[in-house]
Amino acid sequence: MSRDVPWGDEIVKHDFEVSNGTLEVPDKPGLGVEFDAEAAREHPGEPKDSHSLFDAEGALKRP
């Protein structure tokens, strides 16, 4: 999920900030974020085939 959406903070909650181009690494267990699955269900993603290794029929794309 891209963070440049207006609802991004509803889905991934964190308490860290970027200051002068740096991020203080949290000392709590885990990644330092809380994922809200219910909020994520409100904003399902859209498939983007440009990055897929497979075509519409499911076959592996060849270069």
The structural domains of the chain, with segments of one domain joined by +, span 1-63
How do residues 3-58 score in pLDDT, each as one tens digit?
578 888 888 887 777 888 888 777 778 877 889 999 999 988 776 656 678 887 88
Per DSSP, the three-state class of 44 is coil
Q: What is the pTM of this model?
A: 0.51
Number of Cβ within a 10 Å radius of residue 35: 10
How do residues 19-30 score in pLDDT, each as one tens digit?
888 887 777 788
Number of Cβ within a 10 Å radius of residue 51: 6
